[in-house]
Structure 1
Amino acid sequence: MPSSVVAHMDYYPASATLRITYTSGEIYDYLHVPLKIYEAMKASTAKGFYLNKFIKGIYPYKKVTS
């Protein structure tokens, strides 16, 4: 999953939480993210673009660490 923005991502289906680890080292949880959105992002060749267009500003989030 090479990306200049997203270093790693995990999805927790029980809570519908998408955890994004940015290349900067910051970690954010995006809440109430449907599985189909996670799967589409996982399949995307432009993870940062997908994140900005379909997740940020749409789903609530919380910063986990920096």
Structure 2
Amino acid sequence: MNMKYVQSSHIDSVGYDSDTGLLVFEFKDGSVYEYLEVPEYVHQELLSADSIGRYAHQNIYNTYRSNKVR
């Protein structure tokens, strides 16, 4: 999965697998979380949001199942 660096105070990079709906966040502190069954439109909205962190808080963190990878 290719990770894309983003402009955010807490998130370093974001990756997405459109085949599985797996969305991955790598945070500035080195932690990595994956979010399961995320629709493509959510990924697109995330990347185009004025604030990626705010969008993630409002639409992803408490909406989709997640696993801490690292």
Q: CA RMSD in A?
A: 0.7
Which blocks of at least 5 consecutive residues in structure 2 are unaligned?
1-5
Could you list the structure 1 runs, at least 4 aligned residues long, displaced by more than 4 angstroms after superposition. Answer: none
Which of these residues, 19, 29, 35, is aligned with residue 30 of structure 1? 35
State the shift of 1:2 in Å. Answer: 1.3
Residues matched between the structures, number = 65
Equivalent in the alignment of 2:67: 62
Structure 2: how far apart are the matches of 1:33 and 1:5? 20
Q: What residue ranges of structure 1 are gaps of 5+ in the alignment?
A: none
TM-score, normalization: structure 2? 0.89
Give the structure, 1 or 2, with the largest relative contact order (CA under 8 Å, sep 6 or more). 1
TM-score where L is the length of structure 1? 0.94
Per-residue deviation at 1:60? 0.1
Sequence identity (%)? 25
